[in-house]
Amino acid sequence: MTDATILFRDALQSIYGPLDWLPEPDGEIHRFSVPGDKPSTLNGWYVLFLDGIASGAFGSWKTGGTSTWSSREPRNNHESELVRQRIEQARRQREAEQRQRQLIAAGRAQRWWRDARRTDPAHAYLVAKGIRAHSLRQRGDDLLIPLYVGGELVNLQRIAPGGEKRFLFGGRIKGAYSSLGRITPDTPLCVCEGWATGATLHESGYTVAAAMNAGNLKPVALALRARYPDIEIIIAGDDDRQTDGNPGRTAAHAAAVAAGCLVTFPEWPANAPEHLTDFNDLANWSAAHGLA
């Protein structure tokens, strides 16, 4: 055990909280369980080098992003270049492992989708959301929502009858989306967060790409803009009125600016409760109050 190893663990703990183990300083990618995640998951990763200036990098597959660390500032250009090369090596290792994880997940998604049965139209989640199944499939009690990149199935979101949502472990999310309807040059395309919101919009006549979460609105909008440069794209954002910073509105506006899109949000009646956030919420509340 070295002082540098302890200092590197301190850097990890400053982000992820207390850890009851010491990093391996062998220059290889290692995974670890991030405090607060499910005990069986290994979403954290790190790599640590000790020769020369001790340096390393770490991050989380779940949240994304990378942090770098070194035991001291380089004294000259040679030391700076050595640290840069190590960080670059760590980046390549992380990306190679991520590609491998995504490849395995894509294979699993394609097998599950192939073997799944037609969705029960009375599935509890569909009934609760007031939407049709469209082209979804079902595995056991879980709905399967397919996520595509460039026409290739790369991941699945599973939705339990109670609404619990999970992606396949290691599967690609960034830039992936689930489509409802056929994208054509003369039809506006809505990009939204959740699939239920997308189903509501599609049942109102729109072609839809559901990005699954606010953070993925921008990558999906940019990917669709690159693939369909002349199509009209509308970001149909969530309105997280009760959340600090309103992340739904913030992400929707950022996606619209980046991809040159229009943006829209639910228009709430004066007596609509504050906890409603998306177009599916609005449709269900309006129907329940005779406003649909």
Q: Does 55 score more than 70 pLDDT?
A: yes
| pLDDT for residue 292 | 65
- State whether 214 and 93 are in the same domain: no
**What average pLDDT does the chain have?**
93
Q: Is residue 281 part of a domain?
A: yes
Number of other CB atoms surrounding residue 159 within 10 Å: 25
For residues 274 and 84, give the distance between their C-alpha atoms in angstroms, rounded to a whole number.
49
Q: Is residue 109 part of a domain?
A: no
| pLDDT for residue 242 | 93
- State whether 128 and 212 are in the same domain: yes
Q: Is residue 113 part of a domain?
A: no
- The Cβ-side half-sphere exposure at 98, using a 13 Å CA radius, reads 19
75-95: average pLDDT = 84
Q: Is residue 39 part of a domain?
A: yes
Q: Residue type at 63? A: T
104: left (phi > 0), else alpha (psi -120 to 50), else beta? alpha
Q: Is residue 111 part of a domain?
A: no
Given 104, 128, 146, the domain boundary residue is 104
Query: Whole-prediction pTM value?
Result: 0.81
Q: Does 92 score more than 80 pLDDT?
A: yes
pLDDT tens-digit readout, 100-141? 999 999 999 999 999 999 999 999 999 999 999 999 999 999
Which tokens sit at 11?
A: 């850097």
Residues in the chain: 292
- State whether 80 and 138 are in the same domain: no
Q: Does 2 score more than 70 pLDDT?
A: no
* Domain ranges, residue 249: 118-288
- State whether 156 and 240 are in the same domain: yes
Q: Is residue 38 part of a domain?
A: yes
Report the DSSP beta bridge partners of residue 234: 190, 262
- State whether 169 and 254 are in the same domain: yes
The domain total for the chain is: 2
Q: Is residue 97 part of a domain?
A: yes
195-230 b/e (C-beta count within 10 Å ≥ 16 → b)? bbbbbbbbbeebbbbbbbbbbbbbbbbbbbbeeeee
8 Å CB contact between 56 and 66: no
- State whether 36 and 149 are in the same domain: no
Which tokens sit at 115?
A: 């073997």
- How far CA 3 is from CA of 57, 59, 83, in Å, comes to 17, 21, 18
- State whether 127 and 214 are in the same domain: yes
Given 60, 75, 104, the domain boundary residue is 104
| pLDDT for residue 22 | 93
For residues 121 and 112, give the distance between their C-alpha atoms in angstroms, rounded to a whole number.
19
Confidence of residue 77 (pLDDT cuts 50, 70, 90): confident
266-286: average pLDDT = 95
Q: Is residue 110 part of a domain?
A: no
